[in-house]
Amino acid sequence: MKLRDKVVLITGGGSGLGREMGLTFAREGAKIGVNDIRPESAQNVVTEIERVGGSARTFVADVSSSTAVKKMFSDFLAAWGTIDVLVNNAGIGRTRDTAEFSQTWEVPDEDWHKMLATHLDSTFFCTREALKAMVSKRSGRIINIGSIAGTTGLPFAAAYCAAKGGIISFTKSVAREVVMHNVLVNCIAPGFIETPMTAPIDEAMREQIIAVTPAGRFGEPADIAAAALYLACDDSKFMVGQIISPNGGYVI
Ligand SMILES: NC(=O)c1ccc[n+]([C@@H]2O[C@H](COP(=O)([O-])OP(=O)(O)OC[C@H]3O[C@@H](n4cnc5c(N)ncnc54)[C@H](O)[C@@H]3O)[C@@H](O)[C@H]2O)c1
């Protein structure tokens, strides 16, 4: 087992990539804190992990709120005493329940702020709390979930791309800062993966994406969980501030 008795917190762990990482890490012996803003989603994943013999509990919080994150970490550390791995994964694909594309010149302030807060503020808030515990014990891993949106850009998604680009730069900066404390910070920048987030993409758009993806398909959540497991375990102890991008060749 690659993560025996490691204590892990996964934000947005109630769905898609977060769920898959939770199940994968649990199979490798980790205890999983499943954060989500949706209590029932977090509970469902905890139940799934327990059903396969793993250990997990929910930590319901809106990670875009600094106050909520502070409380979540205090509850987490009270429950499990430490944190070995943080995965900053919580995210949203759109700020409104509409399939419409947003032209950048039409994006309202609140949509911009919500996108940045959900991805970038949350990554900072959770990293800050995790580092307090990790630096003092001189051990830890932080895995940030970026996106190809942050490396190559996508049209009609400026706020999402800015947030993901920010996460990539944040990763590189913090990685340089804390490696001396034996805390390793890295990032995964997935391409298009089949999850509830990408389910609203219509058939025509899906075909266009697949046409420019040399692998000829969307990725599976397991493609990302495998990269996350690598970054969480001892196999990656020389990885510092790196961006791993499982994307089927969409970006080469
Ligand atoms: N699916 C893809 O193609 C893809 C590609 C690149 C990057 N990503 C990124 O991967 C991450 C996971 O995406 P996914 O595809 O699994 O999406 P998903 O919608 O299946 O899961 C995201 C989870 O985050 C939770 N969440 C949202 N806002 C939150 C908040 N403020 N506090 C706590 N939880 C919150 C949601 O409730 C949901 O359970 C996101 O950061 C996303 O941007 C996804």
Q: Tens of pLDDT along 101-141?
A: 789 999 999 999 999 999 999 999 999 999 999 999 999 99
CA distance 102 to 90: 22
For residue 41 and ligand 1, the question of a CB distance below 6 A is answered with: yes
C-alpha gyration radius of the chain: 17
> What pLDDT does residue 96 have?
87
CA distance 137 to 159: 36
Q: Count of alpha carbons within 13 Å of 127, Cβ hemisphere only?
A: 27
pLDDT > 70? residue 206: yes
For residue 171 and ligand 1, the question of a CB distance below 6 A is answered with: no
For residue 92 and ligand 1, the question of a CB distance below 6 A is answered with: yes
Place of tokens 């209590």: 39
3-state SS string over the chain?
CCCCCCEEEECCCCCHHHHHHHHHHHHCCCEEEEEECCHHHHHHHHHHHHHCCCEEEEEECCCCCHHHHHHHHHHHHHHHCCCCEEEECCCCCCCCCCCCCCCHHHCCHHHHHHHHHHHHHHHHHHHHHHHHHHHHHCCEEEEEECCHHHCCCCCCCHHHHHHHHHHHHHHHHHHHHHHHHCEEEEEECCCCECCCCCCCCCHHHHHHHHHCCCCCCCECHHHHHHHHHHHHCHHHCCCCCCEECCCCCCCC
Distance in Å, CA 16 to ligand 1 centroid: 7
99 pLDDT band, cuts 50/70/90, is low
pLDDT > 90? residue 100: no
Read off the pLDDT of each residue in 17-37 and give the average, rounded to a whole number.
98
CA distance 11 to 29: 19
State the sign of the Cα–Cα–Cα–Cα dihedral 24, 9, 82, 243. Answer: positive
88 pLDDT band, cuts 50/70/90, is very high
Residues above pLDDT 70, as percent of the chain: 99
For residue 157 and ligand 1, the question of a CB distance below 6 A is answered with: no
Distance in Å, CA 248 to ligand 1 centroid: 20
For residue 247 and ligand 1, the question of a CB distance below 6 A is answered with: no
State the sign of the Cα–Cα–Cα–Cα dihedral 193, 197, 200, 205. Answer: negative
| pLDDT tens figures, 28-47 | 999 999 999 999 999 999 99
Q: Which residues does the annotation mark as catalytic?
A: 160
At the topology level, CATH places domain 7-244 in Rossmann fold (3.40.50)
> What pLDDT does residue 150 have?
98
pLDDT > 90? residue 239: yes
97 pLDDT band, cuts 50/70/90, is confident
Q: Which atom of ligand 1 is nearest to the CA of 62?
A: 32
State the average pLDDT for the chain.
97
CA distance 235 to 41: 31
Between 67 and 99, name the one with better pLDDT: 67
* Phi (first) and psi of residue 55, to 5 degrees: -120, 130
pLDDT > 80? residue 157: yes
Q: Which atom of ligand 1 is nearest to the CA of 63?
A: 32
CA distance 18 to 13: 4
Read off the pLDDT of each residue in 218-246 and give the average, rounded to a whole number.
98
pLDDT > 80? residue 194: yes
CA distance 13 to 54: 15
pLDDT > 70? residue 155: yes
> What pLDDT does residue 230 have?
98
